[in-house]
Structures are given as C-alpha cells and as structure tokens.
C-alpha cells in the first residue's frame, strides 16, 4: 500500500522514519563510531535504534544518500559545534524531553553530578527489577515504579501478585514529592551513591497522571482487573485515573495535523492491525488524513486482512500509542480527549 504519510495538498515525503534514518546513519559510520554515539543515548533510544538496525535489510544506496544529506543539512543548521552555554543546553533538553524529564538530566550535566543509581534500573529487564524490589516496603516499590518510565513500570508491575499491584498503584496515586533522603535510601539499596545532597529540593513524582500512564501500558486484562480493584477501594480515585488514561480510540480527538504527523511515524502493516480493533469514527479520521489513493488502498487492505488475534491488535495499538506519547512529550503533537492534560 502507499505511504499513509502522504497527505492532501502536501508534497511527497521520503518514506524513511526518523528512527530508521538514525539506524541507517549509525550503520554507515562503522562499529566503533556507532558505539561511541550509542554511549550518549538513553536506554529507550538504544533499544529503539538497535531494533531498527536489526530489522533493516537491503538498504538502497539512494536511501543512504537521503539520510546522509538530511543529517548534513541538520548539522549546518545547528549553532557552532562546541560553543554551548548553560541556557542553550537547558533549552535544547527541555525542547527535546519536556520540562519534567529534562530537569533532572540538566542538573546532572550542568552541576557535574553522577548518574543516580536509580537510573541503572532503566537499563534492566522488568523481571530483574521486580526481583530487586520484591521484598522492599511497598512505599519503596511505589517510588521506584513512579521513577521509571510508565511502559517499563507497567512491565515490572505485571510480575507482582494482584494484591501487591493494587497496593502499589494506590500509593503511586497518592505520591506528590519525594524527599532527597528517600532517594538516598533507594540508591543505598542499589549500592550506588546518590548524586544529590541534603539541601536538594524535593522531587516531584507519582500522582494520578503517573498512575494513568502506567495503567495505559498494562496488558488490557491486567489493566481491567486492577482498575476494578482500585474502584472497589476508592471509586473517586479510580474515576480520576480513568479520566486521565489515553486509549487508542481517543486518537479520534487529535487534530488533523497531529494525525498526519503520527501517520508518518507508523508503518502501514502496524496501522492495519491496529485499526482492525477500532471503531468506524477513528478509521474515518485516519482515512481523511491520507491522500485519496492511500485511503482507498488502506480500506482495501483492511478488508483483505484476515482475522487477527486480539492480543496482536492490542499490541499494535499500544505500539502506536507509545509513538504518540513520545511525539506529545517532544511537542510534535497534542493529544486530546479525556486525557488531554496527561501529556
């Protein structure tokens, strides 16, 4: 099918996603130089780019030329290399990561602090993290999960029994700020030194928003059971979390420019599987933001696609939602609907 990123009245766009461009660029550099670049990336970026590199095959010379040309154009548009300033670095990171995520990283870079021991958890498998914190106090478990990215927290939460999940989610919802001493304790548990000091400010984490983001990333069966359990304990709390959750069908509330930007990041096959489980309103929203030909081909592909397992549909939808949240965090799109304040 045609590239769904082609939109009405828009110029044809190269069908190479940003993550694939990064993968092609790194593969062009050679092993040593690519490794040096990867050292400066976070765990999520390494995983995404590494996965893209592993699936790339038969890269055409024209594609490599396009990627290198795009990269050189971006480099030319940058300020003088090596001529940074605190304000420039802070502004760049806030733009890239958002205010909340950037602040801690900015402090570590500009103040010369070491990476917090908690950050090492972001490089670990979910099962290993659950084993590390399994015997800790539930409040410690809640702080750890509130500190991690929501999708990783959801994976860790899946390894706990139902009753423990409920307790942790209730505690995460009640969190607001965490004193440096508490973070010091966590780093001691991980046998790492905490980079802050006793005069540091409290750290904001947890709350309804954090709980909703974790719930969004849980398997649908676990999410349903956990939400029901939360409402049995505190119905108002459950409703507040539910109101902040952003689900796949909420994409119909995203504006047209946002949908068009999202479609440029989503492969055709992934979109087809995800739309097999969506309602007609969302499907029509997607069709309306494609060229006429691309929309017709997508309709045909949807009709021709045979039965798809529910788990595959949900997996595809969660993958697209992950892309949407990443783009929202970067300020590229705005997610609307009941969860409009979530991101």
Give the chain's end-to-end CA distance (angstroms, integer). Answer: 32
Looking at domain 117-244, which CATH architecture does it have?
A: Orthogonal Bundle (1.10)
CA 189 from centroid of its chain's CA atoms? 27
pLDDT for the residue numbered 204:
60
Query: Tell me, what's the pLDDT at 102?
Result: 55
Q: Which pLDDT tens digit goes with each residue over 281-294?
A: 888 999 999 999 98
What's the average model confidence in pLDDT over 270-275? 90
How confident is the model at residue 289, as a pLDDT? Answer: 92
Confidence of residue 32 (pLDDT cuts 50, 70, 90): confident
Q: How many helices (H) and strands (E) does the chain have?
A: 19, 2
Q: Tell me how far apart the alpha carbons of residues 191 and 268 are, in angstroms, rounded to a whole number.
A: 45
Q: 248-339: what CATH class?
A: mainly alpha
Lowest mean pLDDT among 120-129, 143-152, 233-242, 259-268: 120-129
Q: Are both 117-244 and 248-339 of the same fold?
A: yes
User: What pLDDT, on the 0 to 100 scale, is given for residue 90?
Assistant: 60
**pLDDT over 50 (residue 342):** no
State the DSSP code for 332: S
Which H or E element spans position 177? strand 177-178
Domain segments of the chain: what residues? 18-76, 82-113, 117-244, 248-339
CA-to-CA distance for 21 and 76, rounded, in angstroms? 17
The residues near 279 (Cβ < 8 Å, ≥ 6 apart) are 249
pLDDT at 318 exceeding the cut of 70:
yes
pLDDT tens string 36-81: 777 777 777 777 777 777 777 777 777 777 877 777 776 666 544 4
Is pLDDT at 113 greater than 60 in this prediction?
no
> Which pLDDT tens digit goes with each residue over 128-178?
888 888 888 888 888 888 888 888 888 899 899 888 999 999 998 888 777
**Of 46 and 276, the one with more pLDDT:** 276
- Per-residue pLDDT band at 95 (split at 50, 70, 90): low
pLDDT band with cut points at 50, 70 and 90 for residue 98: low
State how far the Cα of 230 lies from the Cα of 167, in Å rounded to an integer. 9
pLDDT value at residue 160? 92
281 vs 183: CA distance, rounded Å? 46
């Amino acid at each position: 099918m045609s590239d769904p990123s082609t939109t009405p009245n828009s110029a044809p766009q190269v069908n190479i996603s940003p993550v694939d461009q990064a993968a092609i660029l790194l593969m062009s550099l050679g092993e040593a130089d690519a490794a040096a670049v990867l050292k400066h990336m976070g765990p999520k970026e390494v995983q995404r780019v590494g996965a893209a590199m592993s699936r790339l095959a038969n890269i055409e010379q024209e594609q490599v030329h396009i990627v290198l040309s795009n990269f050189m154009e971006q480099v030319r548009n940058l300020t003088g290399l090596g001529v940074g300033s605190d304000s420039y670095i802070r502004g760049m990171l806030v733009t890239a990561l958002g205010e909340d995520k950037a602040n801690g990283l900015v402090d570590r870079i500009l103040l010369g602090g070491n990476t917090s021991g908690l950050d090492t958890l972001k490089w670990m498998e979910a099962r290993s993290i659950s084993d590390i914190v399994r015997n800790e106090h539930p409040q410690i478990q809640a702080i750890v999960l509130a500190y991690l990215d929501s999708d990783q927290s959801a994976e860790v939460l899946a390894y706990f029994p139902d009753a423990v999940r409920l307790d942790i989610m209730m505690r995460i919802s009640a969190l607001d700020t965490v004193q440096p001493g508490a973070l010091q304790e966590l780093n001691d548990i991980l046998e790492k030194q905490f980079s802050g000091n006793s005069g540091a400010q409290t750290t904001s984490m947890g709350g309804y928003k954090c709980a909703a983001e974790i719930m969004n990333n849980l398997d649908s069966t676990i999410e349903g059971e956990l939400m029901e359990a939360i409402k049995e304990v505190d119905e108002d709390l459950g409703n507040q979390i539910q109101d902040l959750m952003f689900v796949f069908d909420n994409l119909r509330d995203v504006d047209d420019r946002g949908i068009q930007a999202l479609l440029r990041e989503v492969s055709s096959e992934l979109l087809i599987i995800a739309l097999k489980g969506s309602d007609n309103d969302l499907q029509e929203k997607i069709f309306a933001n494609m060229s006429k030909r691309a929309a017709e081909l997508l309709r045909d592909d949807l009709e021709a696609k045979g039965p798809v397992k529910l788990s595959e549909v949900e997996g595809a939808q969660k993958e697209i939602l992950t892309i949407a949240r990443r783009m929202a965090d970067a300020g590229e799109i705005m997610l609307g609907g009941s969860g409009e304040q979530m991101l």
